[in-house]
Amino acid sequence: MGILEVSKSEIKEDQKLKIISEMVLLKEHIKLFEQKYECSFKEFEARIKQAAEDFASWDDYLEWKAYQRSFEEREYLKMKKNKKKINSDDGVKYTKDGRYRAHITVKEKLAQKANSLSGKSKAMERKN
């Protein structure tokens, strides 16, 4: 088996796409609440704090708040990933052309997985 090589830019792009896909899903949830209550989250938050207790609205508020925070966190991560450099202390070696190689080959990785699984099955046998 050969050594898997991936460029730094490919890793960054993959991470960015993952964050964006999560953001799209969160934004859809947020839009549903905006349509339901016909206002933004900040407007709804102010409205719910002034209104009499309504458990259904309060539940929606908590859920909407969680989606809103998660969206903002991913937005921050996306911005941060655009500026962040990938460090070489993450278990990979970088080559001169800006690509990295895993310390182990795919064959070695499969052998490690097999050893891990056999160790778990031996532990299960001892318990029984």
Query: CA–CA separation, 39 vs 57, rounded Å?
Result: 13
- 41-62: per-residue pLDDT in tens? 999 999 998 988 889 999 999 9
Q: Is the pLDDT of residue 112 over 90?
A: no
Label residue 89 by pLDDT band (50, 70, 90). Answer: very low
- Span 83-95, average pLDDT: 47
Residue of higher predicted confidence among 9 and 24:
24
Q: Is the pLDDT of residue 38 over 90?
A: yes
Q: What is the pLDDT of residue 103?
A: 46
Q: What is the pLDDT of residue 65?
A: 95
The structure tokens listed for 106 are 């795919």
> How many beta carbons lie within 10 A of that of residue 64, not counting itself?
22
Query: CA–CA separation, 90 vs 80, rounded Å?
Result: 18
In this structure, what are the phi and psi dihedrals at residue 40, rounded to the nearest 5 degrees? -80, 170
- Span 79-95, average pLDDT: 53
The structure tokens listed for 3 are 């050594």
- Span 78-100, average pLDDT: 52
Instruction: Give the closest residue to 2 by CA, choosing from 93, 112, 109, 114.
Output: 109
Residue of higher predicted confidence among 79 and 52:
52
The pLDDT > 90 percentage for the chain reads 38
Residue 89 CB partners (closer than 8 Å, separation 6+): none
Question: Are 94 and 11 in contact, with CB atoms under 8 Å apart?
Answer: no
Q: What is the pLDDT of residue 118?
A: 62
Ranges of each domain in the chain: 5-127
The length of the chain is 128
